[in-house]
Every structure is written in structure tokens, then in C-alpha cells.
């Protein structure tokens, strides 16, 4: 029974330690101050209790220095809390470049996870230990929230846009996944498990089970089915911008703005093409809203992400990484092939640091249309 | 020996004319323009809504005794927490101290005959009652399940409950609170008695002034935001609709722009009451009077600048998150100033422990915990983990219940003799204060632990390892309920059987204690002229009750 | 108590010391109330600014479907009505009852004219299929965002129109009281504070007009 009475959550990610340390710091500081105040109150309450019904307390002058003092003094621990908290927040907000990507779709009242190798799962997410995993999530209906307490990470999952969060699991085990934004009737039933496995076990898992085909490969056939390639090709005079190597790079729009072509940009361009027109092109792309569903969006976006490396980039032969570098078109994992998405736990030259970030530091937090991301070096 | 019986004619005892016996009959109450009677009307209706909101809480805590959702259906549970939040926030906490105690005491504290706009005051009560009627209608028709936060697109496009009716209720109640705030501001500016300068005002007045500013500036924003949700539900198109480019985050920004300052509407009055009670029961001027006065204004101002700390995981940029985090730390400083000054007031005071003081001291302790845990939430990296968990639920209940409700009870007990002319049974009242304090901590402290463990809020069913803490919380709730039930009885009893209170049973400073208990309709027979500083205690004011 | 002969002005409310205090209280009250009105319209202007910056082209296109001539007329009507309102305050202070009544009546006429013109505009929009919701039949690549513009247009001008209707009600009541000769130099507060309200509603329109009618026009 005591086993079933935890008082503190498991710490299972590279960031959970930092969050817990911050928590203990706050408990210590706030606890100490609160205790001091309470002790003082109780002490005064006893010492200065009324001794006679006509007792009148002595008058004393107010103490401006004391007032200023206790306004200024709390600012110091508060600044530490603020800066430390911001630092941890930045860490959680910036997935490392070499993170393994997983697409998550939340809808009333279940989670669907799509791995880049084609494996998909419902309410379960299998990940390898000691590997950064980036979750790219969108909702099909209302706002949900992807929350894994053991990893100390959480992000709201919104309709019509992608949110990302990431974690690097450090302990084998099974951890709760909760939806943490009220979403209707079965909100408390929109739960699941994140299973963290040894690399070998993970490979085995990838090989077996449900595999719909890698999203990028399916995306390629969709790209042809919806005739995207009739406009988006590399021929001169093409009606639409070429998409080889486009993902992650900035582009100039009509009207002067420059945006980064991330997942949200691609999504918007498919569903609402008139919103952002690339400079030098006409607003003639039809909308695919109503024709393309969430799953297909993920597939098309995966395909576009896998397109076109700048020549000579080389790099680790792990075509499932969605960082826009290294995988040549079509080199994405074929459906069912377990061997190609090989994932050595440590990338040569890109050893994940203690907070999971790769050697290619300096990646900006991924947000639609934000600053330019540095090109990653192998 | 014979005993001689002398016939002594009975001398009829003439009750002094006061606002209660001046006129009788339902119409004289329902059409009153007397701020004191309006305060009583609010007292009755607000108590009713408190019981309703509390009832929903009891049902929720019953369900949460077991991990499975086995007492109610999920939809019913969702409606319970929605209605609990809506009723408690809009129909209990926001009006409580301002509309009950503020209405009654504020004009008397200022030496005025009434508020600036008595008819608007009565109108504010009727608007409140109309809002209440809509809420009750919603409850009878099956409730609403959007959460009190009405997040879109769930509230606009997915909920199948009576969202529009509830919005109308909240909207109308909002105007009630705007009228109250507006009345207070004008009264404080224009109707102070001669000699009553700003820095001679009781700190309760400063707190009510700051509260009124927030009510005026914030409430219209929630009114229009909820109206937009209602329009979107009715017309099936609106500014939050993603199909035409609408942004669910826009709703969140507009919603929290009011709802964060709203929490200061709920706590500032309780802080004002605490200042009054601490001063009265230590017989001294509040330490750092000017600092406490200005801290109320600082809270009102800074409180408008922090709203997006409710949105750290919602999808705002890291840079704006940083700004809101920093400002959220800063807004804690004026509250800390108050706590330190109250503590300083105890130093070398002459402290007695009547019930109001017990509630006020309890307020300080519980508000301290609630406020400190606010710092945890302002810390961005930590908030990610605890956002939307029971940590948040514990935090805001420490402030709203451990803070505001304790402050409200402190005020009710403090001014009860003035309002009714009667004393309540002191030992029963002290028992209830202790029960409330103990029950409260048992209910809500385990929720901090639950939250950090990861139990999300608004969960009908939960993972089994959370059960023991939930059982503790529910047990605490039963003690808390008992603590809240007791006052109903001893207050009612006091109306008939309570000892008659003199003008100043506590021996406190303040204009309200210079007039009779209960006061005459015009508050003072002659307009007082104030020549003394706030809280200048004089021994002759004591009635010897203490 | 009310049949006891009063030694003071009949309009003095008993909780005030004197007419001066009453006047100050009611004037401060109206300014405070108008601040709440700014916060009531404010979020709509904020939403407008947000969506206009994101959907600039669609908003410009939508604005071109506005009848700017009627918009200009309405602006002129309201500005002129603010003049008649200011004049009515002046006449009340000068004890010129007949002139006051005329000024108030003119204000009413102008206010009603404003609403009439608005009704015509709304009708036109409906006929053109621009009313948001199931009646929105406008076709264009930017149609969804154009609909967003019109949602904002109808909500903002609709809220403004509601305020106009309330204003017309207030001024009708003022007209009745003015005809009874209730206002004078000693007591003109209600005219002044009602005037403040009317001026505010006018100013809201002066912001609405360019934002809704003149986007992208040269």
C-alpha cells in the first residue's frame, strides 16, 4: 500500500533534475521566509498579548528604512528564481537539432503518434532511452495538452497549428501521459503511456507492430496524387516555388516579410495558400482545406521535409531526421524496412550533452516564421 | 409577616430608531436605497450562492474519494467543476466583501450618509439577482461544462450545454460589480467627511478604492469577451473561429486580461479587512500605514500586467513569457509588504484573540502559503510541470479560500455587532475559526503534492496511486464544511438571543464605531468632523467588552 | 418626509450636502463610467488591430465593399449632433429653455438619422451576401478573412448602435425634463453628463469610421 503512495514523481528525463532542483530551491527559500514570518507572528502574538483590559500599547515611530529594506531584499532571491526558471524554460523550448521526431495528433479523446519510420500508435508512445525526442503536435478539434509528468514537460496542443516540445528520457520504464487541458467529456480518459526502451529493444519494437508506411513515403505519393508537383517543381517558369531543401530555410514573401518555412508554414500554405505568397509568385494556389486531413498533412509535410539536401552535406546516414539536411529525396525509410532508420544512441560528433542538446548549439526555438535557424554541420 | 406586592407599571423599552426598525415590510427592503439594507440583501443572496457553490464542491470531493469515476458521469462531473468555479468566482467571491461589507461600512467609515448613487446601488443588487437567476436556470436546465475559463474552440464550437445562458448570467453580474466599483470611487473622492483627508482614511477604504479601479477597468473586458463567445455560438461564426482565421489564443489573452486582475478583486478587500481587524485587536495603528495604502494601488496596477503567466504552455513566445514572469514576481512585492507590515503591527501591540482576530491571523498564514506558491508558478521552468495540475488548484484555493473567504469571515464577525446590534456566541465562533483553518489545510495541502506528482486538474477519474492524497483532501473538505456550517447557526441564534452590542464592543478606532449599533438610517445624527489620524486609539472608546 | 417643506433645490438628493457636491459626484461618475466604456470597446479594437495586421489584404478588400459615402454622411451627422449637444449644455446654463429644447430635439433627430443610415447600410450588406454566417455568399480567394472583417464590422458598429439607442433614450428623457423647465444655471448636471456620454459615443465612431471604411483607400 505504501508502494502505491508516491509523494514525489519519478525523474526520468534530462530536464527533470533541473526542474526538481529549482523546485527544491523555491521550497527552501519560500519555506524559510514563511517559517520566519509565522514564527515571528506566533512569538509576537504570545509576547504582546493583552494583559489588562485598559492596556494601551506604546507608540513607536514607523521605520522607513525597514520598509525599503523588505521591499528590496526579496528582489534578490526572486531574480534568481526568475533567471533560473527562464533558463530551464529555454531548455525545454528548444529541441536539439538531432532530435528524433514524432508527430502527435490529439483529438477528443485519444492520442495518435506517428513515427517517421511509419509506425503509429494510439495512446502509447515508444521511445528509445538517452535520445532526444521531439514531439510535433496538433489537435483535430479543441485544445488539448501533451503532458508527461515524469519528464516534467508539457505543451498545449492546438487546432490548426503545430506545437513542439521535446524530452530526452534517461530511465527505462513506463510513464504516464496525461491530457492536461480540459477538452470535454473524456478529458480524464485521454491518457496513455510513454514507454522508454533500451536501443536494441526499441529497434525490435520498430520492426514489429503496426506500420502504415513512413509518412514521408506516403507523402510523396500524396504529392503526386494532389498534383502538387505540377506547380512545385524545379523547372524554370514553374508556377510554384521549388521545395527541394526548402524546409527550415527563410524565404521572402510578397509584401516584404521574411519567414522561416517550418511545419506551421507548410501547413498554412496547404490549407490557406493565400495567407503568405512567396515573392515572385502569383496567388494562384488552390486551397486543400477539406481535402487533406490531419494525417495527410503530416505525411505531406514529412515528405517536403525530406526533400533535397544541399549538395555535399553528407552527414549521418539517418534519413529519418527531419532537420532538412542530408536525406536525399526518396531515401526515407521504405515501408516496413527496419534496418534503415538505424539510430545509434550517440551520433558521431553530435554527442548529446547533459541537457540533450547536440553539438550544433544555437538553434532558435522553433516557432512559425521566427528567426533563421543555423545550418547544422554534421 | 405579610409581603406587600407593589404594582410597578412596566416601562416600555423603546428601541432606538435604526435602519432596521425604521420601516418594515418586504417592499421597504426591496425598494430600499439605504446602503445598509442593500448590504444585507447582498449578504443573504451571496450566502445562498456560497452554499450552492459549496454544494458542488462537496459532490466533487465525494467523487474524488475513489480513482474511478463511479459516482457521476463524466459530463456531470465536468458540469460540477464548471459551475463550482463560476458560482464561487462571479457570484460569491467577487461581490462578497465589496457588496456586503463595503456597501454597509464604507459610507459610515467616510462619515457619509450613503453612497454617491443609492439608486444605482439598488440596481447593482437587482443585476446581481438577475445574474443569479440565469445561473440557477442553467443549473436546472442541466448545467454548463466549459470550465469557468470558457476556452475556445471548446466553448464556441463543441460544448453542447447552456453556454449562452450562463454567459448572460455572468455578463449581467459583471455589470453589477461595475456599478459597485463605480459607486465606491465617486463616494471616496467626493463624500468624505470634513477633515477626513486621504491619509486619515482607514486602510479598508484604500483597499476598496484599489479594488474598485480593477472592477472598473477589468470587468468590461470579460463582458465583451464572453459576449463574443456567445455571438460565435449563436451565429456559428466569430472572431475566434479558425475557419475564418480566428485565433484561440486571442480568447485566452482577452479572458486572462480580466481574470487575472479579478483575483486581485477577490483578495484586496480581504487584505483591507485584515488591516482593520489587526489594528483593532492590537490597539495600534497599522505599521507602515502609507506603505500598506500604496501597496493596494501597486497591486491594482501591476495586476493588469501579468495575465499571460496563465499561458506559459499555451504557445506564446519565450520572450513574452519572460516579461510576464518577471512582472509576476514584481506583483508579489506589494503583497509581501502588507504581510510584513501586519507582522510589524503585532510588535509591541496589545493583542487580544477574539474571533475576528483569529480569522485575520489565519488569513495571514494561509495567504502567505498561497502567495509563495504563486512564486513557484511565476517561475517559468517550474510552471511547465505544474500548470493545469492540482498544484494550481491548491495555490488558488489557498488564496481564494484561505485568503478571501477567511478575510470575509473576519469582516463579518468584526462588523456583525455593528450591522445587527448583537454579539454572537464567542466560543462557538472561535471553534468554527479553528475548524475552518484545520479543515482547510487538510483539504488543500495534499493537493500541492498531488499536483507536483502530475495529477491534472479537472480530472473526473484519476490514476490509482493518487488515491490516498485525494482521500485526505476529501476528509478535510468535510471538516471545512462543518466549519462553514456553524456560523449559519450561531449568527442566526444571535439575532434573537445575542447580547446587545454597544456602539463599540471591540474598543476600536474608526468612524463606524462612533455611531450606534445598529446605526440610524442616516448613519450619523450630525456629520462628523475628523481631526484625528487613522487608528488613533483612545481609551474612552472602549466599552469594556474586551 | 417628502411632504415637509424643503429649504433647498428640489433636485438635491438628501445624501448630498449641497448641489455642488451632487454635481461634482455626478460628473466624476460619468467620467468613471466612460472609462469603463473605453475598456468595453477596447478589446474589439485590439482584435481588429491583430487581425488587420495578419490579414491586411483581406481587410483592404473587405473595406472596399463599404459604402464610404454613407459612412462620411454618418460621420458628419454625428459631429453635428455633438455640436447640438454642446449647445444644449450652454443653453441650459443660460436658462434659455426654448433654445435648450430645440437643441435637444435636433440632437435626437440627428441620432435617429444616424441609425436610419446605418440600417440602410446593414441592409445593403445583407443583400450583397456580406453578412457573416450562413448568409455569407461572397466569393473570393480571400473570402474567409473577408468574413472575419465583417464579423468585426457588425460587432463593433452594432455595439456602437446599441450605445446610440441608449443615448437617444437618455436624450428623450432629457427633452421631457427640459420642456418642464427643470434645468437652469443652478442645476444643469444631467444635461452635462448626458452630453459627455453622447460625445464619447461620437468619438468611438470617429475611430470606427476610418478603420472600417477607409482601409487601403487613397
- Asked if residue A296 is part of any domain, the answer here is yes
Task: Find the Cα–Cα–Cα–Cα dihedral A36, A39, A42, A46, rounded to 10°.
Answer: -110
pLDDT greater than 60 at residue A348 = no
Choose, out of A265, A273, A275, the residue to mutate when testing the contact with C (most C CBs < 10 Å): A275
A281/A162 same-domain check: no
3-state secondary structure of A147: strand
Question: C-alpha angle with apex A323: A322 to A328, nearest 5 degrees?
Answer: 70
Of C152, C197, C147, the C-alpha closest to C46 is C152
A169/A236 same-domain check: no
- Tens-place pLDDT, residues A357-373: 333 333 333 334 333 33
Phi, psi angle pair for C67, to nearest 5°: -85, 90
Range of lowest pLDDT (B198-212, B327-341, C3-17): C3-17
Report the DSSP beta bridge partners of residue B456. B389
Distance CA C151, CA A10 (A): 49
Judged by CB atoms closer than 8 Å, whether chains meet at C32 and B527 is answered as no
B147/chain A closest Cα distance in angstroms: 8
CATH code: domain C14-214 is 1.20.120.80
Task: Give the end of a domain, one of A213, A236, A254.
Answer: A213
Contacts of A57 in chain B (CB under 8 A): 282-284, 348-350
A234/A307 same-domain check: yes
- Tens-place pLDDT, residues B28-44: 899 999 999 999 999 99
DSSP designation for A377: P
Distance CA A269, CA A264 (A): 8
Alpha carbon separation from A133 to A157, A179, A357, B309 (Å, rounded): 17, 18, 11, 27
pLDDT greater than 60 at residue C60 = yes
Of B291, B196, B272, B238, the C-alpha closest to B533 is B196
Neighbour subunits, C (≥3 Cβ pairs < 8 A): A, B
**Averaged pLDDT for residues C88-108:** 95
Lookup: cell for B413: 464577525
pLDDT confidence bin for A257, thresholds 50/70/90: confident
Contacts of C144 in chain A (CB under 8 A): 272
CATH code: domain B36-541 is 1.20.210.10
Q: If you measure CA to CA, which chain A residue comes closest to C142?
A: A274
Instruction: Determine what percent of chain B is predicted with pLDDT higher than 90.
Output: 86
pLDDT greater than 50 at residue B477 = yes
C186/chain B closest Cα distance in angstroms: 19
pLDDT greater than 70 at residue B241 = yes
A131/A280 same-domain check: no
> DSSP of chain C, one letter per residue?
-TTSPPSS-TT--TTSSSHHHHHHHHHHHHHHHHHHHHHHHHHHHHHHHHHHHHSHHHHHHHHTTS-HHHHHHHHHHHHHHHHHHHHHHHHHHTT-HHHHHHHHHHHHHHHHHHHHHHHHHHHHHHHTT-SSSTT----STTHHHHHHHHHHHHHHHHHHHHHHHHHHHHHHHHHHHHHTT---SS--HHHHHHHHHHHHHHHHHHHHHHHHH-TT--
Residues in chain C: 218
Residue B244 sits at the chain C interface (C-beta within 8 Å)? yes
Of B222, B38, B35, the C-alpha closest to B113 is B35
pLDDT greater than 60 at residue A117 = yes
Kindly list the domain boundaries of chain C, sorted by start residue: 14-214
Alpha carbon separation from B392 to B310, B447, B457 (Å, rounded): 10, 9, 8
Looking at per-residue pLDDT, the higher value among A326 and C28 belongs to C28
Range of lowest pLDDT (A71-85, B4-18, B145-159): B4-18
pLDDT greater than 90 at residue B440 = yes
How many whole angstroms from its chain centre is CA C58?
Answer: 28
- Is the peptide bond preceding residue B153 cis, with omega within 30 degrees of 0? yes
A281, with CB counted inside 10 A (0-12, 13-18, 19+), is middle
Distance CA B373, CA B375 (A): 5
- Asked if residue A53 is part of any domain, the answer here is no
How many structural domains is chain A composed of? 2
* Counts of helices then strands in chain A (DSSP H, E): 7, 12
A278/A290 same-domain check: yes
- Residue B417, number of CB atoms within 10 A of its CB: 26
pLDDT confidence bin for B14, thresholds 50/70/90: low
**Averaged pLDDT for residues A162-182:** 96
Task: Give the end of a domain, one of A213, A230, A256.
Answer: A213
A196/A89 same-domain check: yes
Distance CA A35, CA A22 (A): 19
Which range is most confident: A206-215, A262-271, B174-183? Answer: B174-183
A226/A355 same-domain check: yes
Would the CA dihedral through C11, C16, C20, C22 be positive or negative? negative
Provide CB contacts within 8 A for A74, sequence distance 6+: A33, B332, B333, B336
**Averaged pLDDT for residues B61-74:** 95
Would the CA dihedral through B376, B377, B380, B383 be positive or negative? positive
- Tens-place pLDDT, residues B397-435: 999 999 999 999 999 999 999 999 999 999 999 999 999
A236/A114 same-domain check: no
Contacts of A182 in chain B (CB under 8 A): 78, 147, 149, 151, 154, 457-458
Contacts of B178 in chain C (CB under 8 A): 36
Of A281, A259, A285, A262, the C-alpha closest to A273 is A285
**Averaged pLDDT for residues A21-40:** 96
Residue B180 sits at the chain A interface (C-beta within 8 Å)? no
HSE-CB at B215 with a 13 A cutoff on CA atoms is 32
Provide CB contacts within 8 A for C2, sequence distance 6+: none
> DSSP of B46-81, one letter per residue?
HHHHHHHHHHHHHHHHHHTTSSS--SS-HHHHHHHH
Question: C-alpha angle with apex B62: B56 to B68, nearest 5 degrees?
Answer: 120
Report the DSSP beta bridge partners of residue A221. none
Judged by CB atoms closer than 8 Å, whether chains meet at B454 and A155 is answered as no
Q: Residue A336's pLDDT is what?
A: 37
Kindly list the domain boundaries of chain B, sorted by start residue: 36-541
Residue B181 near residue B189, CB atoms below 8 Å? no
Which range is most confident: A60-69, B203-212, B520-529, C139-148? Answer: B203-212
Looking at per-residue pLDDT, the higher value among C206 and A354 belongs to C206
Residue A252 sits at the chain C interface (C-beta within 8 Å)? no
Distance CA B385, CA A92 (A): 11
Name the residue range of residue A314's domain: 217-376
Residue A306 near residue A327, CB atoms below 8 Å? yes
Residues 403-462 of B with CB under 8 A from A: 449, 452-454, 456-462
The ipTM assigned to this model is 0.92
Contacts of A180 in chain B (CB under 8 A): 387-389, 456
Residue B219 near residue B174, CB atoms below 8 Å? yes
Report the CATH number at residue A293. Answer: 1.10.760.10
pLDDT greater than 50 at residue A317 = no
Report the CATH number at residue A19. Answer: 2.60.40.420
- Tens-place pLDDT, residues B93-133: 999 999 999 999 999 999 999 999 999 999 999 999 999 99
pLDDT greater than 70 at residue A346 = no
Report chain C's mean pLDDT, rounded to a whole number.
Answer: 92
A258/A322 same-domain check: yes
Q: Residue A300's pLDDT is what?
A: 92
**Averaged pLDDT for residues B149-162:** 94
Neighbour subunits, B (≥3 Cβ pairs < 8 A): A, C
Please report, in angstroms and rounded to a whole number, the separation of the first and last CA atoms in chain A. Answer: 51
Task: Give the end of a domain, one of A213, A231, A250.
Answer: A213
C142/chain A closest Cα distance in angstroms: 7
Q: Residue A369's pLDDT is what?
A: 39
Judged by CB atoms closer than 8 Å, whether chains meet at A272 and C144 is answered as yes
Q: Whole-prediction pTM value?
A: 0.89
Amino acid at each position: 500500500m505504501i508502494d502505491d503512495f508516491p509523494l514525489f514523481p519519478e525523474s526520468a528525463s534530462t530536464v527533470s533534475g533541473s526542474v526538481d532542483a529549482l523546485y527544491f530551491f523555491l521550497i527552501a527559500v519560500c519555506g524559510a521566509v514563511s517559517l520566519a514570518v509565522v514564527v515571528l507572528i506566533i512569538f509576537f502574538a504570545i509576547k504582546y498579548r493583552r494583559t489588562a483590559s485598559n492596556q494601551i500599547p506604546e507608540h513607536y515611530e514607523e521605520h522607513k528604512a525597514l520598509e525599503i529594506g523588505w521591499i528590496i531584499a526579496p528582489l534578490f532571491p526572486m531574480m534568481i528564481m526568475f533567471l533560473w526558471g527562464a533558463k530551464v524554460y529555454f531548455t525545454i523550448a528548444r529541441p536539439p537539432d538531432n532530435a528524433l521526431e514524432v508527430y502527435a495528433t490529439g483529438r477528443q479523446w485519444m492520442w495518435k503518434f506517428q513515427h517517421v519510420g511509419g509506425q503509429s500508435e494510439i495512446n502509447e508512445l515508444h521511445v528509445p532511452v538517452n535520445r532526444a525526442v521531439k514531439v510535433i503536435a496538433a489537435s483535430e478539434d479543441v485544445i488539448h495538452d501533451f503532458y508527461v509528468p515524469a519528464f516534467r514537460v508539457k505543451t498545449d496542443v492546438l487546432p490548426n497549428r503545430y506545437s513542439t516540445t521535446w524530452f530526452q528520457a534517461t530511465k527505462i520504464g513506463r510513464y504516464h501521459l496525461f491530457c492536461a487541458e480540459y477538452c470535454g467529456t473524456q478529458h480524464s480518459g485521454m491518457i496513455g503511456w510513454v514507454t522508454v526502451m533500451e536501443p536494441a529493444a526499441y529497434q525490435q519494437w520498430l520492426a514489429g507492430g503496426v506500420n502504415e508506411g513512413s509518412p514521408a513515403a506516403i507523402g510523396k505519393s500524396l504529392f503526386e496524387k494532389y498534383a502538387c508537383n505540377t506547380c512545385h517543381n524545379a523547372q524554370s517558369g514553374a508556377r510554384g516555388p521549388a521545395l527541394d531543401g526548402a524546409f527550415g530555410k527563410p524565404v521572402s514573401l510578397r509584401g516584404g516579410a521574411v519567414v522561416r518555412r517550418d511545419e506551421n508554414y507548410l501547413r498554412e500554405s496547404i490549407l490557406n495558400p493565400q495567407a503568405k505568397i512567396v515573392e515572385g509568385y502569383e496567388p494562384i494556389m488552390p486551397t486543400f482545406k477539406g481535402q487533406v486531413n490531419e494525417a495527410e498533412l503530416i505525411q505531406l509535410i514529412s515528405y517536403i521535409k525530406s526533400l533535397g539536401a544541399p549538395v555535399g552535406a553528407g552527414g549521418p546516414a539517418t534519413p529519418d531526421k527531419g532537420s532538412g539536411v542530408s536525406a536525399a529525396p526518396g531515401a526515407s525509410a521504405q515501408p516496413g524496412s527496419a534496418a534503415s532508420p538505424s539510430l545509434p544512441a550517440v551520433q558521431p560528433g553530435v554527442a548529446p550533452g547533459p541537457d540533450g542538446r547536440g553539438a550544433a548549439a544555437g538553434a532558435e526555438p522553433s516557432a512559425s516564421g521566427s528567426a533563421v535557424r543555423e545550418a547544422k554541420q554534421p | 409577616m405579610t409581603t406587600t406586592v407593589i404594582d410597578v407599571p412596566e416601562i416600555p423599552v423603546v428601541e432606538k430608531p435604526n435602519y432596521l426598525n425604521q420601516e418594515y415590510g418586504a417592499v421597504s427592503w426591496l425598494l430600499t436605497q439605504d446602503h445598509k439594507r442593500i448590504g444585507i440583501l447582498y449578504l443573504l443572496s451571496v450566502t445562498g450562492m456560497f452554499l450552492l457553490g459549496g454544494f458542488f464542491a462537496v459532490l466533487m470531493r465525494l467523487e474524488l474519494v475513489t480513482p474511478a469515476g463511479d459516482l457521476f458521469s463524466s459530463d456531470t462531473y465536468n458540469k460540477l467543476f464548471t459551475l463550482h468555479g463560476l458560482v464561487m468566482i462571479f457570484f460569491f467571491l467577487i461581490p462578497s466583501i465589496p457588496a456586503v461589507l463595503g456597501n454597509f461600512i464604507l459610507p459610515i467609515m467616510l462619515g457619509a450618509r450613503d453612497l454617491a448613487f443609492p439608486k444605482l446601488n439598488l440596481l447593482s443588487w437587482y443585476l446581481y439577482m438577475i445574474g443569479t437567476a440565469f445561473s440557477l436556470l442553467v443549473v436546472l436546465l442541466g448545467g454548463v461544462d466549459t470550465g469557468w475559463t470558457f476556452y475556445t474552440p471548446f466553448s464556441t464550437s463543441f460544448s453542447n450545454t447552456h453556454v449562452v445562458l450562463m454567459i448572460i448570467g455572468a455578463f449581467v453580474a459583471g455589470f453589477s460589480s461595475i456599478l459597485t466599483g463605480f459607486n465606491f470611487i465617486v463616494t471616496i473622492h467626493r463624500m468624505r467627511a470634513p477633515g477626513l483627508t486621504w491619509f486619515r482614511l482607514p486602510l479598508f477604504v484604500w483597499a476598496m478604492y484599489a479594488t474598485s479601479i480593477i472592477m472598473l477597468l477589468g470587468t468590461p473586458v470579460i463582458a465583451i469577451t464572453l459576449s463574443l463567445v456567445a455571438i460565435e455560438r449563436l451565429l456559428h461564426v466569430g472572431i475566434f473561429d479558425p475557419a475564418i482565421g480566428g485565433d484561440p489564443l486571442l480568447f485566452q489573452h482577452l479572458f486572462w486580461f480580466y481574470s487575472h486582475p479579478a483575483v486581485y478583486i477577490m483578495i484586496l478587500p480581504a487584505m483591507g479587512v485584515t488591516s482593520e481587524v489587526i489594528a483593532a485587536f492590537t490597539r495600534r495603528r497599522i505599521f507602515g500605514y502609507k506603505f500598506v495604502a500604496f501597496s493596494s494601488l501597486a497591486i491594482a496596477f501591476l495586476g493588469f500586467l501579468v495575465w499571460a503567466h496563465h499561458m506559459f504552455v499555451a504557445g506564446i513566445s519565450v520572450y513574452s513569457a519572460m516579461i510576464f514572469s518577471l512582472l509576476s514576481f514584481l506583483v508579489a512585492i506589494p503583497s509581501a509588504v502588507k504581510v510584513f507590515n501586519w507582522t510589524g503591527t503585532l510588535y509591541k501591540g496589545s493583542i487580544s484573540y477574539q474571533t475576528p482576530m483569529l480569522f485575520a491571523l489565519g488569513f495571514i498564514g494561509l495567504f502567505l502559503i498561497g502567495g509563495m506558491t504563486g512564486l513557484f508558478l511565476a517561475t517559468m521552468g517550474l510552471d511547465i510541470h505544474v500548470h493545469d495540475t492540482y498544484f494550481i488548484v491548491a495555490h488558488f484555493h489557498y488564496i481564494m479560500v484561505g485568503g478571501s473567504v477567511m478575510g470575509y469571515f473576519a469582516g463579518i464577525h468584526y462588523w456583525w455587532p455593528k450591522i445587527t446590534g448583537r454579539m454572537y456566541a464567542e466560543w462557538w465562533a472561535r471553534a468554527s475559526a479553528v475548524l475552518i483553518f484545520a479543515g482547510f489545510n487538510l483539504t488543500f495541502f495534499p493537493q500541492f503534492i498531488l499536483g507536483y506528482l502530475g495529477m491534472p486538474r479537472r480530472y473526473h477519474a484519476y490514476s490509482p496511486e493518487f488515491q490516498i492524497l485525494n482521500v485526505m483532501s476529501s476528509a478535510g473538505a468535510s471538516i471545512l464544511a462543518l466549519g462553514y456550517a456553524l456560523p449559519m447557526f450561531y449568527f442566526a441564534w444571535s439575532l434573537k438571543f445575542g447580547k446587545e452590542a454597544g456602539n463599540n464592543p471591540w474598543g476600536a478606532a474608526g468612524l463606524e464605531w462612533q455611531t450606534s449599533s445598529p446605526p440610524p438610517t442616516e448613519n450619523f445624527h450630525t456629520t462628523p468632523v475628523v481631526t484625528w489620524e487613522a487608528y488613533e486609539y483612545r481609551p474612552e472608546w472602549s466599552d469594556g467588552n474586551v | 418626509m417628502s411632504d415637509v417643506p424643503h429649504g433647498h433645490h428640489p433636485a438635491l438628493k438628501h445624501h448630498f450636502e449641497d448641489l455642488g457636491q451632487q454635481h461634482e459626484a455626478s460628473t466624476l461618475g460619468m467620467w468613471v463610467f466612460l472609462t469603463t466604456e473605453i475598456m468595453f470597446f477596447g478589446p474589439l479594437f485590439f482584435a481588429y488591430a491583430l487581425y488587420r495586421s495578419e490579414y491586411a489584404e483581406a481587410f483592404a478588400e473587405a473595406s472596399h465593399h463599404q459604402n464610404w459615402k454613407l459612412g462620411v454622411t454618418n460621420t458628419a451627422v454625428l459631429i453635428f449632433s455633438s455640436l447640438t449637444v454642446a449647445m444644449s449644455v450652454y443653453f441650459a446654463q443660460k436658462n434659455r429653455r426654448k433654445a435648450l429644447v430645440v437643441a435637444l430635439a435636433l440632437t435626437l433627430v440627428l441620432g435617429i438619422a444616424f441609425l436610419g443610415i446605418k440600417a440602410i447600410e446593414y441592409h445593403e450588406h445583407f443583400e450583397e451576401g456580406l453578412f457573416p454566417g450562413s448568409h455569407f455568399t461572397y466569393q473570393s480567394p480571400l473570402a474567409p478573412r473577408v468574413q472575419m472583417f465583417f464579423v468585426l464590422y457588425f460587432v463593433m458598429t452594432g455595439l456602437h448602435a446599441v450605445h446610440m439607442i441608449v443615448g437617444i433614450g437618455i436624450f428623450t428623457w432629457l427633452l421631457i425634463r427640459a420642456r418642464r423647465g427643470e434645468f437652469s444655471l443652478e442645476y444643469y448636471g444631467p444635461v452635462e453628463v448626458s452630453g459627455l456620454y453622447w460625445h464619447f459615443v461620437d468619438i468611438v465612431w470617429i475611430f470606427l469610421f476610418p478603420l472600417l471604411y477607409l482601409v487601403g483607400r487613397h
